[in-house]
Structure 1
Amino acid sequence: MNMQSPGITQTLLMSLALFASAAEASDDRLLSEADFFVDIPEVTSATRMPQKLSEAPASMTVIDREVIEASGFQTIPDLMRLVPGFQTYTLNSDTPATSYHGAAGEYPNQLEVMIDGRSVYLPLLSTVRWETLGISIHDVERIEVVRGSNVPTQGSNAFLGSINIVTREPTATSGLDLTTLYGSDNTRNGHLSFADSNGLISYRISANHEQSDGNDHYSNFYTGDWFAEDGSDGKWQDEQSRNYLNLSTTWTPDLVNSLWFQAGIDRGTSRMGALDTEDAHFADRDHESAFASARYNHLYSDTGMVQLKASLNRLSLETPKANAAEVLTELGVPGPANCTASGLSASARSICTARLQAAQSLIDLNDYHLVEENGKTHTGDIELQISDKRENLAVAGGIGYRHMAAKSAVLLQNGQVHEDRSRLFANADWDFTPRWQLSSGVMYEYSSEASEAFSYRNALIFTPRQGSSLRLGYSSSERLPSLLERYGEATLYLGGDEYDHIRTPTPDLEPEEISSWELGYYQTLPGQRSYLDLRIFREELNNVVDSFLLYADEEDGRVFTSRNTASWINEGAEAQLRFELTPQVWTLLSYAYINTKHSNWRTGEDKVYEGKRFFNVSSNISPEHTASLMLNWSPDPTLDLTLSHYYMSGVRWIDSVELPGYNRTDLRVAKRWQVSRETELEAAVIMQNAFEPDYQDFYELNEFDRRTFLQFSIRHD
């Protein structure tokens, strides 16, 4: 698939528009009244109120259980490849990340990610670590993705968009479900869940184990003088393992009250190492996370509801301290691996011993770690919301409070930092005529750091008929800086004196700003869950937080900090088409064109060495073209065949180098057997990147090769 031709965007959008026009023009022949009353998915993530996709004030994508199973994916971020404008990449073999409209780095920080409405954004790292969330792809019922700033509904973290992962309801599932998967990189996964109802109480328990040896890598770092004694050849693998357990319960004592509760723990180890250099160091990072979330709903009328919800997230990340050999190698100090080796002079032994002692002193004094993901963080949140609908007006509003704290001897050396945020929000949908609707949302946030953010969104929606809508929207939003961005602090001391000031805090950072226009079109099509979704957008981002170099009178001549210096403009178009070709065949197509224009913003003071004073990257910091195509065929009820293709054009990620575009084709073949009325077996073969060559994934030395997996499932009701 070659997406580089200049007219590809116009051609595709015109084709889709003509397709939609033809569908409307042939209304009498192709579309009956029943076609427009097909099950249009209902969503809540855009306004906090249940509404059909055709009535939402923002472009949205819903990934349902059918698509999740057909994809053959093993991680939730991989599913974002199916969403227009999203990019998914891995930092190591098993450390995924996802961004919207590119311009992202190792820690993408402008997306809100929620699980059943509970934010899982980490104040310690200013991002989401997907492998610590306590759920897997088997626990997901659907994913609601808001494409575009959703701050007026979900707060600061939803600066560019939001992802709400809706887990499988205890009331909607029953019985035992066991899935195992084996394959490339010595992957060994197992998932077990059980759901049941006991009168007024329903529950679902889920347990999971994942293990992989990862990819083979090489580092010159571990072949130097100080490692010769160990016989190290520099080879390493980014292996990973994790286990989790979670519980979901629902209690419905009567028709107007319900209580939902969810809790879980997740423990695991990932081998971390930067793959942007052949001299990378690596270490095992252990994680231990726990969460609890509760939601109480009370229907006070036929149309009105009061909702009270609270949640708590905790995460601990641990990496080992560096050893003396690693520190001396990093500093470029030559020396023998063994200070007592025969043939060394007394003077050489003395120098060798002194160097090891000095390195160990630096480690002990500074709690020095080569891999920085080390520390503890917790977030507590409580929110009260009231929603109601009167004739042609639907409203939802409320108040919320969030407490965030983080502690890290590596990233936050001034001690534990914390922040309290209060928020007021409101959304209203007004049907001022049978075909015209005005949707408005507003969010005000106040931070204990003496800063505030105000965001709003307005959308005018024209509905010529059921299942068809044209939308013009504008939003202006602000994002409050994270704890790490404000208070990141790192200094090395040696012998009681400052040796290297690495990072200094910037507590007075200002909010980031985004203003965006969009024109959207949504049309249901004949067939089950068939639709066309088009979007044209323009986003202007200002005051974006970026790393900034201050001049320092020391050996490396600089100190890192954060500044509101970055800005860019995104213009482009997105398209998504899901269509049922026959009762046995359906397809899902997505495409995005993004043109990112950025200024060469300041990244350092005048005295900082040349080449580090401006962000002067001339290549694309967002992939200009991304596309995906999924084709699913079920020739009979027991056989399921899926072909998926993914394309992304070349990009220069913020924390990486310019990488070429890639094509990737995945295959899945699944066969089911109905053993009895209650028991079903399934076997599936999954091949990722089946036909294409290896491609570079985020880092130049991180290659994604062909991978094959065999999956077995048993379901017993």
Structure 2
Amino acid sequence: MKSYLYQLLFMAIFLTGESVAYAQESSLDLLSEDDYIGEVPKVLTVSRLAQAPADVPSAVTVINRETIRASGIVDLPEIFRLVPGMYVGTNAGYVYNTNHTLSYHGMTTAYAGTMQVMINGRSVYSPLFGGVNWSELPIAIVDIERIEVTRGPNAASYGANSYFGVINIITQTPSETPNNSIVATHGNGRNEVFYRHAGKADDFSYRVTTGYRQDDGLDNRNDFKRTRFISTQAEYLLDSNDNLEFEFGITDGARGEGNINEDNIIFLPRTKKIDNHFGLIRWRHNISDTSDLTLQAYHSYDHSDDVNTTVDLRPLIAPLDAGLAASLVNGNVVINNEVVQKRTDIEAQHTFTLASNARAVWGASMRRDSTYAPFYLASKNTDYFDLLRLFGHVELRPHEKLTVNAGAMLEHNDFTGTDISPRASVNFKPNANHSFRFGVSSALRTPNYVEEKFQNRLVIPTTLANPSALIYQYRANKGGVEPEQIVSTELGYIGEIGRLHLDMRLFSDRINHVVRDVRRTNFTVPVNTYLLNPDIDRDVFSSENQGSAKVEGIEYQANWPLTRNTRLLFNHAYVHIRETQDGLKRNYIKSMPRNTISTLITHRFNPQWDGSFAYYQTSATTLLGDGDPVDLIRKCDVRLARKFDYGRRNGEVAIVVENLFNDHYQEFADYNTLKRRARINVKLDF
């Protein structure tokens, strides 16, 4: 493995010189580098301070809007295949949500909850499962300005769910948006259209985006999605020192859920209705040239209305009593799988200068989550989860070649009490082209509702005097789950070798108190019930802390302008998970592909035509939960686009083919078979 990395590095250094010479001779001088997959000079998310990439305390990948455009991607989670160390699975799961799953460095389930995901600083992960309902986010890709991905624990800045990393999706401000835009997509199983309008009246600017998505899903799945949404973003300049920002969004529609297999008698194929909305207000106040204050508050509401009917249970219970079977209304049971989740969050943040070589940020927030999920929590009552946070970060520059970062987050929540997550790093820049980073961070992941309180008890009334009910139960958590802990050590490098921009990270993560499913041998049957399965003591699971693991590896990202009009973006990650204490299942060790590779080559033929070629590869893996062993995956995508400009009207037409060679590969599980798909994307600004 080491020799392989050395060969790649040597080849990059050698070819850089060749590419520079070629670029000087052959450049068409059509676009500046920043116009075509350029770079963002400052990173805003990692420490909550605006910092150059060479000064941040953790590894970070920035994906700008030009990279998103060049990739031709229409599903937001797919763009994260261009982040080293990231696993992306299509249409994972069938219990609560058929959705993309995203994880960094493994421990991957269909509802991966080890990453904090935000839109403009607003957290969007689900309190119930911890993951993100990507297809229900009221956001259009055309509105995204850039995405900042912190690769590594960042609980010091954003709390417990920032366990493996943080994704912050930053949208365009209303003043950056064209007056009117129409974006449409048509292709195999996919149709969508968006319209956005931006305007300004004196000191008030706004943008409104509305759209409709129709995704038919995979051929062998009940995973269609039909969603409508509208989102607004506005800014009001009160005076030279004060600015108000507003955001609001609504999503509604339906999606297909469920799957048929020999173990599934509850979550059959069905249609689930969804309706969500959120509102946010943010006040930015400039206290002085060296001091800024931000106050924000937001509220979100997520609702899925799901009434599920089981298979005919009579074959399972007929041996018990004929009258009992008849009482189930033809053997079927109706399940109330409705879920309502609400979140209210208030946060204050103060950024200021301590000295000429020192800056700091500190703040506090309080949050309340409420969850109504009668099937999962075995109660018709709404459950509440409160969270209080206090955070701070300091950046010191004791020398022009040295940057020191230190910060921590103190949290108190209803599940695990009081926790603290610290982080520190030293960045050394021997010259303007090279920077080395050594950092240590610790993070705690608070258990979600599934891990702490999940019961999924199905009680079926019967006509028998004794017992009075029939019970089906797959999970019965005992509660009291401790937070998982990660201690991450990393050595990073950011540099320019000729025209090659290289970002490398060596990491070693120690994970303790791993939360996993264990069989309950001491499960107590409720009074006046009869077990649907007499062997239920062997089939009931509970989430408990068992085992520890070590995650080690190397990842790097190369951004290489081969010519002025051709650019190569190459990502590779090697991740090795090993058990360090008894208790982990073998599939935890395999819960991340050992190697992931992604490549995006873009080329500008002339001012009107450009194209791209993308290659993605993941080695064999076995995902957790609803996942299955899947083999090596290789996928190629191509895109060809033409821009047009007719005075005040301009736009682009692009043809995209995914899985060019039509490899029928399986992703996440054996019930997901992906085939070739083609589509046309059209964008018009006027």
- Change in Cα spacing, 1:138 to 1:61, as seen in structure 2 (3 Å) is same
Q: Which amino acid aligns with 1:486?
A: E
1:595 to 547, 570, 576: 576
- 2:551 match: 570
Kept after mapping to 2: 8 A contact 1:437/1:462: yes
Q: Does 2:303 align with 1:316?
A: yes
Kept after mapping to 1: 8 A contact 2:258/2:268: yes
Kept after mapping to 1: 8 A contact 2:107/2:588: no
- Change in Cα spacing, 1:621 to 1:275, as seen in structure 2 (3 Å) is farther
Q: Which amino acid aligns with 1:179?
A: V
- 1:41 match: 41
Q: Distance in 2 between matches of 1:76 and 1:392?
A: 39
Residues 73-98 of structure 1, C-alpha deviation per residue, up to 9 Å, x if partnerless? 11111000000000111125972111
- Change in Cα spacing, 1:576 to 1:198, as seen in structure 2 (3 Å) is same
Q: Does 2:193 align with 1:190?
A: yes
Q: Does 2:226 align with 1:241?
A: yes
Q: Does 2:651 align with 1:681?
A: yes
Q: Distance in 1 between matches of 2:215 and 2:318?
A: 35
- Change in Cα spacing, 1:508 to 1:20, as seen in structure 2 (3 Å) is farther
Cα shift at 1:502: 3.3
Kept after mapping to 2: 8 A contact 1:525/1:579: no
- Change in Cα spacing, 1:264 to 1:507, as seen in structure 2 (3 Å) is same
Q: Which amino acid aligns with 2:284?
A: N
Residues 672-713 of structure 1, C-alpha deviation per residue, up to 9 Å, x if partnerless? 11122x101321100001025111011112111100001122
- 2:438 match: 472
Q: Which amino acid aligns with 1:667?
A: V
- Change in Cα spacing, 1:270 to 1:618, as seen in structure 2 (3 Å) is closer
Mapping 1:392-411, distance limit 5 Å:
392-411=357-376
Q: Does 2:71 align with 1:71?
A: yes
Cα shift at 1:503: 2.6
Q: Which amino acid aligns with 2:309?
A: A
Cα shift at 1:356: 4.8
Cα shift at 1:248: 0.2
Cα shift at 1:405: 0.9
Q: Which amino acid aligns with 2:109?
A: G
Kept after mapping to 1: 8 A contact 2:596/2:619: yes
2:404 to 421, 429, 438: 438
Mapping 1:202-217, distance limit 5 Å:
202-217=205-220
Mapping 1:50-199, distance limit 5 Å:
50-91=50-91, 95-185=99-189, 187-199=190-202
Q: Which amino acid aligns with 2:362?
A: G
Q: Does 2:492 align with 1:511?
A: no
Cα shift at 1:133: 1.3
Cα shift at 1:580: 1.6
- 2:349 match: 385
Residues 540-592 of structure 1, C-alpha deviation per residue, up to 9 Å, x if partnerless? 11112222221247512242221111421111001101122222111111110
- 2:4 match: 8
Q: Distance in 1 between matches of 2:51 and 2:213?
A: 37
SS at match of 1:263: strand
Q: Which amino acid aligns with 2:43?
A: V
Residues 479-508 of structure 1, C-alpha deviation per residue, up to 9 Å, x if partnerless? 222233211123232333352343323332
Q: Does 2:235 align with 1:287?
A: no
1:652 to 622, 625, 630: 622
- 1:635 match: 605
Kept after mapping to 2: 8 A contact 1:401/1:421: yes
Q: Which amino acid aligns with 1:383?
A: E
- Change in Cα spacing, 1:393 to 1:316, as seen in structure 2 (3 Å) is same
Q: Which amino acid aligns with 1:378?
A: K
Residues 214-258 of structure 1, C-alpha deviation per residue, up to 9 Å, x if partnerless? 2222xxxxxxxxxxxxxxxxxx64221100000000111222111
Q: Distance in 2 between matches of 1:23 and 1:56?
A: 29
Q: Distance in 1 between matches of 2:394 and 2:18?
A: 34
Kept after mapping to 2: 8 A contact 1:141/1:167: yes
Residues 65-118 of structure 1, C-alpha deviation per residue, up to 9 Å, x if partnerless? 110001111111100000000011112597211110122111101000000000
Q: Distance in 1 between matches of 2:263 and 2:416?
A: 44
- Change in Cα spacing, 1:66 to 1:331, as seen in structure 2 (3 Å) is farther
Q: Distance in 2 between matches of 1:42 and 1:569?
A: 32
1:485 to 451, 464, 478: 451
Kept after mapping to 2: 8 A contact 1:23/1:525: no
Cα shift at 1:44: 1.3
Kept after mapping to 1: 8 A contact 2:376/2:457: no
Q: Which amino acid aligns with 1:517?
A: T
Q: What is the TM-score with the length of structure 2 in the denominator?
A: 0.89
2:294 to 304, 307, 312: 307
- Change in Cα spacing, 1:681 to 1:360, as seen in structure 2 (3 Å) is same
- 2:469 match: 497
Q: Distance in 2 between matches of 1:670 and 1:354?
A: 64
Q: Distance in 1 between matches of 2:370 and 2:483?
A: 19
1:257 to 242, 256, 277: 242
Q: Which amino acid aligns with 1:183?
A: G
Kept after mapping to 2: 8 A contact 1:99/1:111: yes
Kept after mapping to 1: 8 A contact 2:410/2:419: yes
Q: Distance in 2 between matches of 1:114 and 1:180?
A: 26
Cα shift at 1:270: 1.3
Kept after mapping to 2: 8 A contact 1:417/1:483: no
Kept after mapping to 2: 8 A contact 1:570/1:597: yes
> Share of identical aligned residues, percent?
26
Q: Distance in 1 between matches of 2:566 and 2:624?
A: 40
1:368 to 329, 335, 358: 335
Q: Distance in 1 between matches of 2:607 and 2:225?
A: 36
Q: Distance in 1 between matches of 2:150 and 2:167?
A: 7
Q: Distance in 2 between matches of 1:514 and 1:488?
A: 24
- Change in Cα spacing, 1:255 to 1:277, as seen in structure 2 (3 Å) is farther
Kept after mapping to 2: 8 A contact 1:452/1:480: no
Kept after mapping to 2: 8 A contact 1:112/1:163: yes
SS at match of 1:252: strand
Q: Distance in 2 between matches of 1:592 and 1:332?
A: 50
Residues 501-530 of structure 1, C-alpha deviation per residue, up to 9 Å, x if partnerless? 433233322111000110000114666xx6
Residues 454-501 of structure 1, C-alpha deviation per residue, up to 9 Å, x if partnerless? 111110000122353110001112122223321112323233335234
Q: Which amino acid aligns with 1:328?
A: L
- 2:24 match: none
Kept after mapping to 1: 8 A contact 2:13/2:497: no
Q: Which amino acid aligns with 1:470?
A: F
Q: Distance in 1 between matches of 2:659 and 2:617?
A: 11
Kept after mapping to 1: 8 A contact 2:204/2:234: yes
- 2:634 match: 663
Q: Which amino acid aligns with 2:171?
A: T
Q: Which amino acid aligns with 2:234?
A: T
- 1:531 match: 501
- 1:230 match: none
- 1:227 match: none
Q: Distance in 1 between matches of 2:324 and 2:176?
A: 67
Residues 37-77 of structure 1, C-alpha deviation per residue, up to 9 Å, x if partnerless? x9653111110010111111111000001100011111111
